[in-house]
Structure 1
Amino acid sequence: MRLPDSFLQELKDRNNILDVVSGYVNLKRSGRTMSGLCPFHGEKTPSFHVNAEQGYFHCFGCGAGGDVITFIRKIENLDYIDAVKFLAQRAGMELPEDGRDEAAAHIRGRIYEANREAARFFHRCLYSEEGKNALAYLRGRGLTERTIKHFGLGYSPNSRYALVRQLRSLGFRDEEIIRANLGFQGRYGSKGALDRFADRVMFPIIDLRGNVIGFGGRIMTDQKPKYLNTSDTMVFNKSQNLYALNFAKNAGEKRLILAEGYMDVIALHQAGFPTAVATLGTSLTTEQARLIARYAQEAVICYDSDGAGQKATARAIPMLREAGLLVRVLTVTGGKDPDEFIRSHGDQGPARFKQLLEASGNDVEYRLQKAANGLDLSQPDGKIAYLTACVSILATLDSKIEQEVYAGRIAAEVEIEKSSVMAQVEKQMRKRRRDQSVQEFREIQKATSGFGDAVNPQKSQNLRAANAEEALTAYVINNPDMANNIEKWIRPDDFVTDFNRRVYETVTGRIRENRPVSPTDLTQDFSEQEMSRIAGMLYKASVGGETLEAAKDYCKIIKQEKSSAKLREPLEDDEAKRLFEEIQKNKLGK
């Protein structure tokens, strides 16, 4: 079912893209647009632009782009209808009844319901005769009845049919059980779905709206895997959610503690640290780092003290910094992880952990200390190795003052002049900037050439035509009153690439029907990836300028290329270089 144009227009008017994006990105004026660090990929210099007048965003670094609905889809990990609902709720609007995608909404609703009923079933089983070992295990880990109930912990019986039978009795079909990843299709003659989780302590995963979206299951024996987690479904993406964030976000603190597993988080909450969260069976992702940054200003990494935990810490630090967070590292002493540490100190566990938390150093201190480990700083080789590692660390810092402070300390440790340390830091920073510029140019070159283009795979072999098609389509979107003139000069059949033809036909068709053609008005006709491409067309047009004469030339180029039988040559870099130079000017605010 389609949403009315009038509703989309009001939704767009009441959700100004600048206001919405500013809730996630720190934007500053950059020429004719607002720019900031892209929330969809890590970067040090802004390549993310928002054009409020035309209602779109575009990142020339990673290619993300679209309207305000597309932005919410990407940043909140929602499908189209849920993103519209999100913005409608933000603006106090009601979603038209005939605008709901009934089929998809029904499937998502059934997955939520199945998960909710599964959580209830697992919790009941924990207190059954069959679940007594699981309950004893949780109590043996020091968990109180209040904590067990607060987190909705449960037990999956040692059977491949227990949950399936329960859900069937409640009216769920096997297809729905499998779609929710609560079961799997049996093989070798078995009929129907089988339980995915068997003989495990169960940890429900709850989203920010209170829905059970998945589970983690821990085996109580030495069998592998120790943890089994829900695979991605229509309502769950493990790389974009955090365990216990539904509780932590309401704690009223600007600091989140990032732990490694479910039990660490639960132990910390029980001990009086309700801002603890954990990833869901994977390493920290950039999406999760951005999610933390939405609810906190500071992240304290509290991973296990073993080798794997230290590697995970080193990997998480740059992600959290790039998300704009202050980062501290808590090193657990006298125990492998926070749960073990707190239990090992008995009644004093919470107080002792609080001391560790307050004494935790920032990530720079942590990295510098790690750089010195195993080195003899009284020897030249040790000093050189230490200095080399420290320079690499300081070169990643954005604050000149921070660099100066640490450079002075390092200089004293290796007995050289502070100016020598800073000279090496600045040299490495110049190299990083050059490397970044090269990478940005390659990204633009790739986008301009169409190489590896899943949205418009014909572009790379029809480059001249495709670029002209994009420029012409952007001109028509920006100048709908000129569409009649353009249609006299070119027909959709003259287009060389199928995707650009479809965009052009959609736009001109809407104009003929006297319907709006802003990016928001096109979101129902194109996917998230396709909307990113359309935003890219509009951004290139805003950089390069547009006139009716230029549009006429684009028409000529398209028709010439259509009639030409010669093979397209690989990209000549002129177009990419021109766009790159314009973007660099915009970055500098010129």
Structure 2
Amino acid sequence: MSYTYNDEVINEIREASDIVDIISDYIELKKTGLNYKGICPFHNEKTPSFVVSPNKQIFHCFGCGEGGDIITFLMKHRNLTFIEALKDLADRSNIILPEGNDDAGKKKYDEREKLFKLNREAALFYYNNLKSNKRALKYLKSRNIDFKIINKFGIGYANDSWDDLFKYLKEKGYEEELIYKVGLIVQRRDKSGYYNRFRNRIIFPIINIRGKVLGFGGRVIDDGQPKYLNTPDTPIFNKGYNLYGINIIKDNRRYDKAILVEGYMDVISLNKYGVDYAVASLGTAFTENQAKLLKRYAKEFYICYDSDEAGMRATDKALEVLYQQGIKAKVIILPKGKDPDDFIKERGKKAYQEAINKSLDLIDYKIYMYKKKFDINKPEGKIKFTKKITQFLKKMKGSIEFDVYINEISNNTGISVDTIKNEIYGYRDNNLNKSYKDKYSKPYFRNNIKDRIKPVEFSLEPGHLTAEKRLLNLLLQDKNIYNKVKEEFMYMDFLDEDNRKIAEIIYKKYEKSEVLNIEEIIDELDINTSEKLRNIINLVSNDDNKEKAIKDYVNRINYYKKKIRRDYLKKEINQIKDKTDKSKGEVEKLRVLMMEYVQLDKELKVNH
């Protein structure tokens, strides 16, 4: 016999499943405004009409009319029954389902429900403790926390006792083993018994989007250590999958904003002053799974960590994690030594809102951070700053903001736009708005007049040209190859002019269609280039492992590009060295060029 799941179980699985994340496993989705679009998997179409809403957690095709939630999608797309789809989603979210004919599965499910009830009982115990403990209430009052906030977050207090909670739960009929399994007690070293995990601490229940208590955080009210203590990972609690305060955001969607902070008190203080859209990670670095959870409940995202060095590193990491999930978060900068809790208590909501309004986006924050780290008034600091920021900008190639930030970096450092673009683009012509010249077979000039040097002749080596043609041959065969290549290797990365023209058309066609029409590509090329395309198409492929072949071709092309750049640097360095009377600017330029030359030479020897 099959097991019938109640509405609570079904809704819990729905809530734990990200429709965009899961559907992306089956079809390619692209963000368009608040929603995502793709080619409908339920009927034949060329123009995308399949829309997925992350906020509503539903899909709808405007072409064939199919629609529903994530369970419906799996049932239709994979031809599953309702129960099969539910089990698939439960497995993805690490949710245990009871099984009618599986005693072990039923036992695990029942145990999980008992653990939730145990935590709820403990939360009530801690809450009642707080109401009767003058010392704990005095501490919270000193932190400007009143009963309205205490009730909103279910804040409690763990008495300075070794076993009061343990005894209370046993009297309620809960087994020792379960109390231990949920993390409320710790086994003595000699294994003679157990004692309370939390003692003499303010207790913060960690509540999920379904309103269930997953675990607890505890803060000392004296000088004890550690300052914060959290429930360890348990069958119902995983720090990397949950956020403190997410239940508040889920139930309060009027702002459609989320601020990521570091601690429980930051979340609580911001709420106290009306900024009730803050969440905190749970004593660990911000994770990809937490980002996935957060993006379901907000449209605008901010990070507001402590302003010390550790806080800046954590901010940098969180920005990267959010960016990988398609979230462009901004950073709220607070005065040195201040955290959100301190700042809003001292200056109020208006000042905090002003800080939000002045928040920095991803690249602005990178510039801010590296300027604090490196002294750009000194040549060495300027070089390190530019190296660091360009490493990041390489990931941003093609974005609307790209040129704006390059100019800003140039203005901040005095380093020419050309030099910065050379660092990012691998030494091609930097005037990206003009048609690409075959500068590898003709004299090459720097764009900036003051940096202009004598012509340097370049010619592409046969191995390089072969790698470009082979890569194009693979790209012509399959859009999946294009999807793997496009972010790391853009069409501008082809150095041969004809290959670059062919690549540009291929890339643009793939952005609009799933399959290439070769004749359409040929129509856009001149006679000579179209003949080269035919030769590329007719190449015999011996690539059994296409992924490895792609990697080899890209590495080979990049190797030759570095060789070309190294040869160019050598000539430019020699020209400056040959000058008997060098200006201060030329001396600094020589230093930068030599550092780059040494680094390139080292990389080429390693990869040879």
- The residue number in structure 1 matching 2:353 is 354
Q: Which amino acid aligns with 1:262?
A: Y
Residues 185, 301 of structure 1: CA spacing in aligned structure 2 closer, same or farther, 3 A cutoff? same
Q: Which amino acid aligns with 1:391?
A: T
3-state SS of 2:168 partner: helix
Q: Which amino acid aligns with 1:338?
A: P
Q: What is the CA deviation profile of residues 548-583 of structure 1, one whole-angstrom value per residue up to 9, with x for unaligned ones?
A: xxxxxxxxxxxxxxxxxxxxxxxxxx9972465699
Instruction: Give the superposition deviation at 1:401.
Output: 2.1
Matched, 1:127 2:126: no
96, 115, 122: which is aligned to 1:118? 122
Q: Which amino acid aligns with 2:394?
A: A
Matched, 1:105 2:147: no
3-state SS of 1:396 partner: helix
Q: Which amino acid aligns with 2:404?
A: V
Q: Which amino acid aligns with 2:234?
A: T
243, 254, 257: which is aligned to 1:255? 257
Instruction: Give the superposition deviation at 1:215.
Output: 0.3
Q: Is the 8 A contact 2:308 2:337 kept in 1?
A: no
Instruction: Give the superposition deviation at 1:392.
Output: 1.4
Q: What is the CA deviation profile of residues 80-100 of structure 1, one whole-angstrom value per residue up to 9, with x for unaligned ones?
A: 528xxxxxxxxxxxxx96689
Inter-partner Cα distance in structure 2 for 1:71 and 1:580: 32
- The residue number in structure 1 matching 2:339 is 337
- The residue number in structure 1 matching 2:371 is 372
Instruction: Give the superposition deviation at 1:400.
Output: 2.8
Q: What is the CA deviation profile of residues 184-238 of structure 1, one whole-angstrom value per residue up to 9, with x for unaligned ones?
A: 23344744x3211111110001011000110001112222111111111111111
3-state SS of 1:142 partner: coil
Q: Is the 8 A contact 2:97 2:106 kept in 1?
A: no
Q: Which amino acid aligns with 1:232?
A: D
3-state SS of 1:201 partner: strand
3-state SS of 1:373 partner: helix
Residues 341, 188 of structure 1: CA spacing in aligned structure 2 closer, same or farther, 3 A cutoff? same
23, 31, 55: which is aligned to 2:78? 55
Q: What is the CA deviation profile of residues 150-185 of structure 1, one whole-angstrom value per residue up to 9, with x for unaligned ones?
A: 111111111121001111121111111111111123
Q: TM-score scaled to structure 2, two decimals?
A: 0.58
179, 185, 188: which is aligned to 1:186? 188
Instruction: Give the superposition deviation at 1:398.
Output: 5.4
Q: What is the CA deviation profile of residues 443-499 of structure 1, one whole-angstrom value per residue up to 9, with x for unaligned ones?
A: xxxxxxxxxxxxxxxxxxxxxxxxxxxxxxxxxxxxxxxxxxxxxxxxxxxxxxxxx
Which one scores higher on RCO, CA 8 angstroms, separation ≥ 6?
A: 1
Q: What is the CA deviation profile of residues 112-145 of structure 1, one whole-angstrom value per residue up to 9, with x for unaligned ones?
A: 11100100000000122xx221111111100111
Q: Which amino acid aligns with 2:174?
A: F
Inter-partner Cα distance in structure 1 for 2:305 and 2:416: 36
Instruction: Give the superposition deviation at 1:333.
Output: 1.7
Of the structure 1 ranges 148-157 and 392-401, higher mean CA displacement relative to structure 2 is found in 392-401
Aligned length: 391
3-state SS of 1:326 partner: coil
Q: Is the 8 A contact 2:96 2:108 kept in 1?
A: no
Q: What is the CA deviation profile of residues 294-350 of structure 1, one whole-angstrom value per residue up to 9, with x for unaligned ones?
A: 2223321100112221111111111010011111111112652111112223xxx11
1:436-515 equivalence runs, <5 A: none
1:546-561 equivalence runs, <5 A: none
Inter-partner Cα distance in structure 1 for 2:272 and 2:410: 44
Q: Which amino acid aligns with 1:118?
A: A
- The residue number in structure 2 matching 1:72 is 89
- The residue number in structure 1 matching 2:310 is 308
Q: What is the CA deviation profile of residues 403-454 of structure 1, one whole-angstrom value per residue up to 9, with x for unaligned ones?
A: 111112222333344243223212299xxxx9xxxxxxxxxxxxxxxxxxxx
- The residue number in structure 1 matching 2:275 is 273
1:377-392 equivalence runs, <5 A: 377-392=376-391
3-state SS of 2:210 partner: coil
Inter-partner Cα distance in structure 1 for 2:551 and 2:395: 23
3-state SS of 1:354 partner: helix
Of the structure 1 ranges 167-176 and 259-268, higher mean CA displacement relative to structure 2 is found in 167-176
- The residue number in structure 2 matching 1:208 is 209
Q: What is the CA deviation profile of residues 47-80 of structure 1, one whole-angstrom value per residue up to 9, with x for unaligned ones?
A: xxx9999739xxxxxxxxxx955763465x3325
1:278-289 equivalence runs, <5 A: 278-289=280-291
**Cα RMSD after superposing both structures:** 3.9
Q: Is the 8 A contact 1:301 1:329 kept in 2?
A: yes
Q: What is the CA deviation profile of residues 506-559 of structure 1, one whole-angstrom value per residue up to 9, with x for unaligned ones?
A: xxxxxxxxxxxxxxxxxxxxxxxxxxxxxxxxxxxxxxxxxxxxxxxxxxxxxx
- The residue number in structure 2 matching 1:577 is 545
3-state SS of 1:308 partner: helix
Q: Which runs of 5+ in 2 are unaligned?
A: 5-13, 31-37, 43-47, 55-72, 429-466, 468-541, 554-608
Q: Is the 8 A contact 1:404 1:422 kept in 2?
A: no
Residues 71, 23 of structure 1: CA spacing in aligned structure 2 closer, same or farther, 3 A cutoff? farther
Residues 575, 302 of structure 1: CA spacing in aligned structure 2 closer, same or farther, 3 A cutoff? same
Inter-partner Cα distance in structure 1 for 2:287 and 2:21: 23
Q: Is the 8 A contact 2:87 2:97 kept in 1?
A: no
Q: Is the 8 A contact 2:28 2:39 kept in 1?
A: no
Inter-partner Cα distance in structure 2 for 1:242 and 1:415: 43
Q: Which amino acid aligns with 2:342?
A: E
Residues 378, 307 of structure 1: CA spacing in aligned structure 2 closer, same or farther, 3 A cutoff? closer
Q: Which amino acid aligns with 1:426?
A: Y
Residues 388, 144 of structure 1: CA spacing in aligned structure 2 closer, same or farther, 3 A cutoff? same
Q: Which runs of 5+ in 1 are unaligned?
A: 5-13, 40-49, 57-66, 83-95, 435-573, 586-590
Residues 327, 113 of structure 1: CA spacing in aligned structure 2 closer, same or farther, 3 A cutoff? same
Inter-partner Cα distance in structure 2 for 1:428 and 1:166: 71
- The residue number in structure 1 matching 2:22 is 21
Inter-partner Cα distance in structure 2 for 1:17 and 1:326: 18
Q: Is the 8 A contact 1:249 1:275 kept in 2?
A: no
Residues 3, 265 of structure 1: CA spacing in aligned structure 2 closer, same or farther, 3 A cutoff? same
Of the structure 1 ranges 176-185 and 327-336, higher mean CA displacement relative to structure 2 is found in 327-336
Residues 344, 27 of structure 1: CA spacing in aligned structure 2 closer, same or farther, 3 A cutoff? same
Inter-partner Cα distance in structure 2 for 1:175 and 1:27: 46
- The residue number in structure 2 matching 1:299 is 301
Residues 70, 380 of structure 1: CA spacing in aligned structure 2 closer, same or farther, 3 A cutoff? farther
1:82-97 equivalence runs, <5 A: none
- The residue number in structure 1 matching 2:35 is none
Inter-partner Cα distance in structure 2 for 1:139 and 1:386: 45
Residues 54, 584 of structure 1: CA spacing in aligned structure 2 closer, same or farther, 3 A cutoff? farther
Inter-partner Cα distance in structure 2 for 1:53 and 1:256: 34
1:531-546 equivalence runs, <5 A: none
